[in-house]
Structure 1
């Protein structure tokens, strides 16, 4: 946990960072540092990452010094454990320019979700695309939905389909541009910009590459192709597309909705297309699966330490555009497909913030409904809160 975090002037117009951190129990970190991102996502981490042992007593970390081009930057504490980079709230910012004095911004007012360094890496089940992120490069910050860096949409936007109540829209992407909006999305699973990464779930048969993510004709395209790809010493027979809002936007409670055209295998849903949310500390923080195509069906789940209850909707949800939504509130998640309630889960519901994920996955165990190549198209993603 972060007790304090600040930047200060150093000689020759440079800046350095200081953080005070502690853990709920003794844990050895492979590296501890303060990471920095520019407004366009560039990596400007402070030098001086070091191995550290944390305990209940506060540990002070001071980075090396470096200069920054003129601009505004976000910074946060990051650490490496079990060969995986992770980040901690809060996310702050400073401005570099003619003056070397940083201008900090307040800690986001929503409740942050620090990831405890002592949390072991989970082993997700093959039935759901979840897991603790496995990072191969520098980490990404995780501001909450009320952070000033979180994109928002006008409060006059339409309400979620079929979900009653008074809503205000807090996030949206209509994918009407010519490229992915980097202020809202990352185009791989916890990797550096442009990197090909491992999948979230070890049961998947594809790596993820930004080259398979595109925006055109008013839609996000997540393209799955057959192309053997080796990442982290493992070769996957396919490469596909994935986007996440981790480090850009995350939310506690609300209505989450996406209009999606999933790949089809006859009248069944092909492959493992998914629209889901995940917390920073899986499964403790929870995982909310709005949609995942499993064995040809459109299914929903909620995973936490209490288990992974869920079900699959009757009817056909492939071969055309369909709206997949969920209302997450204290103690329950209710699922809506094309505006009709298809299920509800009331056990094991968590309250930690989660970020958005869409991915066009494939599972070799579902060979009867697998189709390659396949394009998962997304018309929009919208989030509302009361």
Structure 2
């Protein structure tokens, strides 16, 4: 025996509906006619009962109507039609209690099988046991309708095991209590479904029972599992092709209707398909149209039907400068700050701190170096001491991708042969940090003894595919996060795997060279990166901002809604409308940023009570100060008189030269590290953006209580969402 096909011990409190149906071609709950019209009983589902670890089929004297005929008895039957079958090479048996008296069996307890195609007698039948006047009998009906049979003298009111081995040469070998009784020819290969019933002919003994302890079935053939065919991508406007695998013992059949294809796998002669194995697949062979995406430059390393989907380059960092682009990247893990020593994402199992000195940019490459060096780093009050340091960069709060994007990096790992050393990774993480719900995409991760692996982590689980590659070499690793919730992984332009990914949280990028307690650490070691790129496959709409009212009075509160954002957080700010002369720029701290969720941001904005009447704009600013969107706002009321001193400013103010530039002495460049405020006299990201736009000063809507001496007004922002 090579496999167990069925093991039903009737141990529950109901019949297993996945295997059995009560009655004779009924619906499991209605009374059905007998197999032969001359039998005196109907088959009633109530007379087939599972209890105490056995199936009991009862015959009782009970007036019944079935098939339009009045019958005097009701009995029980179960059958496996369209649910379970056996075929050549299978053995099936049942342990039954045979009721009778003085050598005569009561009624016709029967265990038998019939061809699934229901074309009797050409599809044959096997009677494993049937109670007759001559005892317990077996019988086989050949494909030509001829019958072979015999009877055995078995003890009555006793348990017996009855079974049949359907050999691959077309013989039905019937066994009683382990002994071969007969071998009958069976000229058919139609799969057969099992039937158990308590019938009757002539004198009926009622009440009476057929009790079944179990029904079991086995296979004797080698088990094979078909491998799924795969769809091989083609150029755009060219039909993809099906790659049918070659598997010993499996025969594949392909059928086509237009561009729709189906493939069915069946066992070759002398083999059996393993239980539960998939045997049918469907494919859509419609060619992918050649869209406009081919004009994007550069394109990822992927088949053309994938690259044709690219609509926009979101990121193209070739590390061509003399330092890391801090507008995109942070050094170290997100629990720390750029420039500090930080732990890794998994400090309990990793072997090093991440240091800023281990991240270098040189000759058009990023280098992350893993070296032996005592280090200490702290996260959430816990301090970790290690013997190594290494490098990491990540783009949290600076750059993210969403469904409909493709990320790619060309990376050189270290190692020997096909074994990558340490634990290098190119991956993404959900920006909201509610792992695993917000997801993780591992484009490259060295696992399973130094193999290159592509995986996803989300709810309800994870998926991983690994491959052996040359370790000490350059390779391109890409991931296409499709809009249908699947991530396709491409290594050196070839599809490696497709994993379902049901997270929708925007993902930030990470590159790091780690080591962990699962493998020996190798130091020194280096991870080199030629570039990191990202594309969008979606025709993105321009960011917008709408407000609940575009005509307000001083002191009013309005709501603002920004959409189509790609930022992690934004700031809402107030400025005179373009072309309207404004007061001098006032150096202020930027208002607390508003968290962006699914591309949108909302805020309540309080219009200052002392604001000058006139035309203004509500502006949405990126973390860098870049203008994302703006909408006009009119403030009613009487203008505040101009200052009495010619060319002066209200008391406490400061002047701004033409073009928005502030006096020297402020923070050079305007934006302080981490996006915080600038010292007095410096220029905030918001005011810098406005100064460069030439539209006058921009005033972030800050928390209540900030006094603008130059304008004599207060602004505040109440955040609806806040970064954890």
**TM-score, normalising length: structure 1:** 0.57
Partner of 1:383: 534
- Alpha-carbon contact 1:257-1:326 (below 8 Å) kept: yes
The within-5 A match list for 1:314-333 is: 315-329=468-482, 330-333=484-487
* Residue 288 (structure 1) aligned to one of 441, 454, 476: 441
- Does the 8 Å contact 1:284/1:304 carry over to 2? yes
Report the equivalent of 2:357.
211
Cα distance in 1, alignment partners of residues 318 and 384 from structure 2:
35
- Aligned mate of 2:418, from 262, 267, 272: 267
Aligned residue for 1:160? Answer: 300
Distance 2:461 2:309 in 1: 31
Q: Mapping of 1:1-386 within 5 angstroms?
A: 156-163=296-303, 164=306, 165-167=308-310, 168-190=312-334, 191-201=336-346, 202-232=348-378, 233-253=383-403, 254-279=405-430, 280=432, 281-294=434-447, 295-313=449-467, 315-329=468-482, 330-346=484-500, 348-367=501-520, 370-386=521-537
8 Å CA contact retained: 2:455, 2:465: yes
CA distance in 2, matches of 1:192, 1:327: 30
**Cα distance, 1:304 vs. partner?**
1.1
How far apart, in 2, do the equivalents of 1:193 and 1:341 lie? 35
The runs of 4+ residues in structure 1 deviating greater than 6 Å are none
Does the aligned pair in 2 maintain the 1:333–1:349 contact within 8 Å?
no
Maintained 8 Å contact 2:407/2:479: yes
SS at match of 1:200: coil
SS at match of 1:170: strand
User: Higher relative contact order at CA 8 Å, sep ≥6: structure 1 or structure 2?
Assistant: 1
* Structure 1: segments with no counterpart, 5+ residues: 1-154
Contact kept? 1:265, 1:371, Cα under 8 Å: no
Counterpart Cα distance in 2 of 1:317 and 1:338: 12
CA distance in 2, matches of 1:311, 1:349: 18
Q: CA deviation at 1:193?
A: 2.8
C-alpha distance in structure 2 between counterparts of 1:242 and 1:157, whole Å = 28
Counterpart Cα distance in 1 of 2:355 and 2:525:
15
Q: Whose Rg is larger?
A: 2
Structure 2 unaligned regions, length at least 5: 1-294, 538-724
1:12-41 per-residue CA deviation (whole Å, 9 max, x = no partner) reads: xxxxxxxxxxxxxxxxxxxxxxxxxxxxxx
The whole-number CA distance in structure 1 between the counterparts of 2:316 and 2:362 is 17
TM superposition shift of 1:181: 0.7
Partner deviation per Cα, 1:122-164 (whole Å, 9 max, x = no partner)? xxxxxxxxxxxxxxxxxxxxxxxxxxxxxxxxx7422110142
d(CA) in 2 for partners of 1:363, 1:228: 16
Q: CA deviation at 1:239?
A: 0.6
Residue aligned with 1:309, SS: strand
Equivalent pair of 2:331/2:337 in contact (CA under 8 Å): no
Offset from partner CA, 1:322-374 (integer Å, 9 cap, x none): 0000111132001110000111112x42111010000001112112xx42110
For the residue of structure 2 that corresponds to 1:364, the secondary structure is: coil
Contact 2:417 2:470 in 1 (8 A): no
Give the superposed CA RMSD. 1.4
Q: CA deviation at 1:266?
A: 4.2
Contact preservation (8 Å) 2:418, 2:471: yes
Please tell me whether the aligned partners of residues 376 and 386 of structure 2 are also in contact (alpha carbons under 8 angstroms). Answer: yes
| Counterparts of 2:392 and 2:407, CA distance in 1 | 18
Give per-residue Cα distances to partners, 1:146-202, cap 9 Å, x unaligned: xxxxxxxxx742211014232121112001111111101001112123110010113
- Between the aligned partners of 2:355 and 2:513, the Cα distance in structure 1 is 11
Q: Tell me by how many angstroms 1:305 deviates.
A: 2.5
Q: What TM-score, normalized by structure 2, do the two folds share? A: 0.31
